[in-house]
Structure 1
Amino acid sequence: MIAAADTALVLLAAGRSERFGDLDKLEQPYLAEPVGMHVVTALAAVPFRTRIAVVSGTCLDYGARGYRVVQNPRPEEGQGRSLALCLPAVRESGARAVLIALADMPRVTAAHIYRLLDTADGEAAVVASSNGEHPTPPALFGAAHFDFLAALTGDEGARRLVMGGRHVVTSPAELVDVDTPEQLAALTETVMRNART
């Protein structure tokens, strides 16, 4: 396992929300807070070595929640660029691993993150989440992969590494991401319906 105290949390929040119309999806209300703050709240008690948020134009104040904020002025270049931009801060922290989470996944739990950390077997580890069909973030990468992550470009990201890594299966409901207003409305309705039963 890799301890949370040896792990840098990177929150990717620099997407362009293209499928959400003119609105920033991360700022849209979902239950008691904006979509982009749910994972922040869920992981607040996990004692990460450092927390880094990669942003582009959002009004959400990740700095006030203890995150070092890294600006991505060219989000159109994809998640690979966001990962590369945050790696200097990850290295500076002395972390042995980086845990990458997406701000548009509001149902992720701390329990699942601890399962990823428990599955990691050292600095060569690659551990991703899975809905039982395919791997997805959140994902953990040991320090042996920092050079690879720092050189990423485009939307391909770390997919090749992830496909060859270990996968921790959890409920598909936990790994849902929000890309459209319809998805957000359906997610809200599902949660509210479950709360009534």
Structure 2
Amino acid sequence: MASVEDCVLVLLAAGRSSRFGDGNKLEAEFLGRPVGFHVVRALEDIPFRSRLVVRDGCSLDFASCGYTEIHNERQDLGMSESVKLGVAHAREMGAQSVLIALADMPRVTAAHIFRLFDAADSADAVVASSDGHEPRPPVLFGRARFDQLLSLTGDQGARALIAAGRHVVTSPAELIDIDTPEDLERIRQLVHAPERLVP
């Protein structure tokens, strides 16, 4: 089992929100707080070695929540650039593993994250979340995978690595990510959020 205390959390929050229309999806309200702060709150009591957020394009103050902010000024290079920035900083901090999570997944729970750690049994571990059909973030990578992560290119991120790794299944509702206004409205309806658009 991987040690939480030796792991650096890398939160990706640098998307351009191009499919969301006006405004930034991470700033949109969900259950009384910005979408981007839900995973922050859910994971706040997990004793990570450190917390990093790779960000740009939104006004949320992650530093006030204990995160070291890394600015991705090359969003045009795709998600892989954010992953590489986060992993490079984590390695400099002496991380034995990294947990990569997305700020646009507001229903991720700490209980699920601990299950990822339970399933990580070596330095070359890759443990991804799954809805039972498709693996996706959050994903835990052991230190032996850092060089591979640092060589990624394009917008596919670590998809091939994730597909070949171990998968921990959880409720599909926990792994919903928000890309469009319709996604946000669906998740509001799912949990009967007070800000949902009621006809």
- What's the TM-score once normalised by structure 2's chain length? 0.95
1:103 counterpart residue number = 103
Number of aligned positions between the proteins: 193
What is the correspondence of 1:131-146 to structure 2 with a 5 Å cutoff? 131-146=131-146
Deviation at 1:159, TM superposition (A): 1.0
What is the correspondence of 1:1-197 to structure 2 with a 5 Å cutoff? 1-192=1-192
3-state SS of the aligned residue for 2:160? helix
Q: Give the AA of the match of 2:39.
A: V
Counterpart-to-counterpart distance in 2, 1:37 and 1:151: 29
| Contact residue 98 and residue 142 of structure 1 kept, 8 A | yes
CA deviation map 1:65-86 (0-9, x unaligned): 0111100012121110101112
Counterpart-to-counterpart distance in 1, 2:138 and 2:31: 22
3-state SS of the aligned residue for 2:192? helix
| Contact residue 10 and residue 99 of structure 1 kept, 8 A | yes
Would you identify which runs of 4 or more consecutive aligned residues in structure 1 move more than 2 Å? none
3-state SS of the aligned residue for 1:141? strand
Q: Give the AA of the match of 1:2.
A: A
| Contact residue 16 and residue 76 of structure 1 kept, 8 A | no
List alignment gaps of at least 5 residues for structure 2.
Answer: 194-199
3-state SS of the aligned residue for 2:88? helix
Deviation at 1:190, TM superposition (A): 1.3
Counterpart-to-counterpart distance in 1, 2:56 and 2:74: 8
List alignment gaps of at least 5 residues for structure 1.
Answer: none
| Contact residue 10 and residue 87 of structure 2 kept, 8 A | no
3-state SS of the aligned residue for 2:19? helix
Counterpart-to-counterpart distance in 1, 2:149 and 2:190: 36
Counterpart-to-counterpart distance in 2, 1:31 and 1:115: 26
3-state SS of the aligned residue for 1:69? strand
Counterpart-to-counterpart distance in 1, 2:188 and 2:57: 25
Deviation at 1:88, TM superposition (A): 2.4
CA deviation map 1:117-175 (0-9, x unaligned): 11001211000000000101000110001111112121121111111110000000000
CA deviation map 1:161-196 (0-9, x unaligned): 111110000000000001111111121111017xxx
| Contact residue 84 and residue 153 of structure 1 kept, 8 A | no
Deviation at 1:87, TM superposition (A): 2.1
